Structure 1
Amino acid sequence: MSSTNNEKQMLDLAEKLGMPASDFSATMHLLRLNEIHIVDMLPEMLLMIRSVIAEETFIYKRKPVNTVTKGLLFSFQNIFNHSSNNHTYQYSEKSLQARPHIRVTPLHLESEVVFPKGLTITQITILIEFDFLKSFIGKDQETFRYLFDDEKTFLIEEFMSPEMADLVTEIAGTPVSGILSEAYYKLRALELLYLLFKNLSKRQYVQYQSLRGDEIAALYRVRDAISFSLDDPLTQDELVKISGMNVLKLRKLFKQIFGKGIYEYCQYLRMKEAARLMQEKHLSVSEAGYQLGFTNLSYFGRLFEQHFGMKPKKWSAQHGLKGK
């Protein structure tokens, strides 16, 4: 499909969702749309698959969606070709946008999307109406009642599991058209949501509170600071200073968005980075541990086992890598 047709689809979609096309067209020239595929099943659901590259780094501010009065937006980003046997993803060490993740936002929330220059961003976005989602969840909807409180402004970010990554890669891989294509995409979208909700159900319960835009921005500054200092983790006091919040508020709101405590989140990222260093950079176990700031390799090994279910040497051996 030509880039002109891709752009027209994006602008038509913006208008359909009550988002002025003029707002979007102002930045359209900065994006190269490699692919876009829209499956319109509104008023219940809409699915969009797109792959874009930014010519320059810019921030797009998404306006509230007002066509669907009450609903949620699920953005599964980024999708990479990867081996389902090892589930280690390719991404730039310096780009948080490229790490596979899911973001959940209410339709009435204005949000910002960062498009870094030269980075291919591939997304599956699912827009879904409250009542349809509630009927899908059924009797378990009480577990996720915080998602349906349209009086509160919230944002949730979740790591993409290997199982979800396989499914989104499959959905984005080859467009399906013709008879029953809408049924296919509806089924796959619901399967993807099932996997996400299964993960969300494991989150420790917190009393969700409404968030202001500046609080969301502050929490992402903290997240970014953690992610860029994995070899020398920042102290709690340093993170408190970055956030501009008191420590109790920071801990509570960080866990509300990211589903993990600050320390747990940091260690999770360090273990994912250790696996990446061993697989992509061909570092040995000890080299990966030292590069991430661990002076006690036994402690590093225990943490790795907690996250991957096996010692790093065994993990390396299973992947045909250095084991020392």
Structure 2
Amino acid sequence: MTNYCTPTLDIPNGPWTSNDNVISIASKKAITHFDDDEFLAMPDNDDIPNLDGRLTYIHISDDCIAQIIDVHLANPFNDKGITEAGWIAFQFALCGNQISIVDGYGQMTYSGPRFGVCATSHVTKAVKFIQPGYVNYVNIIVRPQFLLQQFGLDPQSLPHQIQAILAGKNEGFYTCSHPLNSLMSNATEALIKSTFNGKLFETFAKIKIMELLCFASDLITQQHEVSQCKLKLSDRDIMLLNKVREDVQDNYADPAPLSEISRKIGLNRNKLSLGFKELFGTGVYEYCQQYRMLQAKKLLQDTKMSILEIAIEVGFQNHSSFSRAYKDFYNRAPSQDRAA
């Protein structure tokens, strides 16, 4: 049996930055753009490594702020942040790998296209170690009251930690991570790659942010329904299931049978299947298929490989089976996502 663990990272030196700083920047006007040189020239950004791209802040209201990150990092970047109580953070990531250490709650690894949620009912410190490469995120921080007012959510349908925020109680830290589904992926990509300017971009961005919040609200209320019969997972179980996810991402074109994964990882098949769905919101093979489709779309847009070559690269035997699966997932043919 193989045991897996993630090495512990040291907290870097330097000041902690409150998310109040982000809110302050974003609240100055409806849309705030920072090109790389402008961002690096800001106070407290002297130690940020070379980056190429743009950061955009969008002020929806005092209870809802969004951030679009579209950059290429030449070197690792460490971000030390303090999350104030009473906020929910949603992240829609097309690409970008990071490790997060949350004070008092442990270390988590995030990679590939994903949707993540963090919420805290008390002041919480977290360090993000973001790896070099392309980073395409849409981050949205929102007060839970905003979700209730805008989308008519039943407070009882929310995870109990978020209910605690509403009630002003301290119920700890809530986090979950899921593969980015096609609807989230399309809206995130449209927002990051938008070529609109001025008032047109402001209107478009606000619409897309509200669309993403619709998807997020629907998912976290469903997650709460699942958690009513929550499988008991130990720290070791969670660590091993995260390793399963990493292995699925590494071998998505030719995934191993569940029985083989079970033997390799050291979890019985029942806990592997149920635990993976509990932790990541989908089954192992469903996750693999979602990841495969997201990689296929990236190859279509970023390379000049033929559709048949891409089909084989992501694990399909022929053009037609790939095209059917792609259309089932995205509701359009692969040729429609070819790079211009």
* Shorter-chain TM-score tier: 0.5 to 0.7
1:267 to 289, 292, 296: 289
Q: Structure 1 residues 282, 212: closer, same or farther in 2, change over 3 A? A: same
Name the counterpart of 1:194. Answer: 214
Name the counterpart of 1:136. Answer: 150
The alignment covers a number of residue pairs equal to 276
State whether structure 2 residue 311 is matched by structure 1 residue 288: yes
Q: Deviations over 1:118-164 (max 9, x none)?
A: x2212221111122222222145544446725535331224142565
Q: Deviations over 1:240-266 (max 9, x none)?
A: 467665544443342234321112222
**Alpha-carbon separation, structure 1, partners of 2:197 and 2:153:** 32
Q: Deviations over 1:21-68 (max 9, x none)?
A: 6xxx58x4324152122235675122212222222245x3654402xx
**Alpha-carbon separation, structure 2, partners of 1:103 and 1:266:** 18
State whether structure 2 residue 186 is matched by structure 1 residue 165: yes
Task: Note the residue ranges of structure 1 that are not aligned, 5 or more in a row.
Answer: 12-20, 80-95
1:116 to 131, 138, 141: 131
Q: CA RMSD in A?
A: 4.6
Name the counterpart of 2:70. Answer: 51
Q: Structure 1 residues 46, 320: closer, same or farther in 2, change over 3 A? A: closer
State whether structure 2 residue 263 is matched by structure 1 residue 223: no
Q: Percent identity?
A: 19
Q: Structure 1 residues 155, 173: closer, same or farther in 2, change over 3 A? A: same
Tell me the TM-score normalised to structure 1 length: 0.62
- Which protein has the bigger strand share? 2
**Alpha-carbon separation, structure 2, partners of 1:51 and 1:163:** 17
**Alpha-carbon separation, structure 2, partners of 1:213 and 1:175:** 46
Name the counterpart of 1:5. Answer: 38
- 3-state DSSP of counterpart to 2:72: strand
Task: Note the residue ranges of structure 2 that are not aligned, 5 or more in a row.
Answer: 1-33, 96-109, 165-170
Name the counterpart of 1:93. Answer: none
Tell me the TM-score normalised to structure 2 length: 0.60
- 3-state DSSP of counterpart to 1:222: helix
**Alpha-carbon separation, structure 2, partners of 1:179 and 1:233:** 44
State whether structure 2 residue 57 is matched by structure 1 residue 38: yes
Q: Structure 1 residues 110, 247: closer, same or farther in 2, change over 3 A? A: farther
Q: Structure 1 residues 257, 33: closer, same or farther in 2, change over 3 A? A: farther
**Alpha-carbon separation, structure 2, partners of 1:122 and 1:277:** 16
| Mapped contact 2:187–2:212 kept (Cα < 8 A) | no
State whether structure 2 residue 92 is matched by structure 1 residue 76: yes
**Alpha-carbon separation, structure 1, partners of 2:134 and 2:253:** 26
| Mapped contact 2:179–2:290 kept (Cα < 8 A) | no
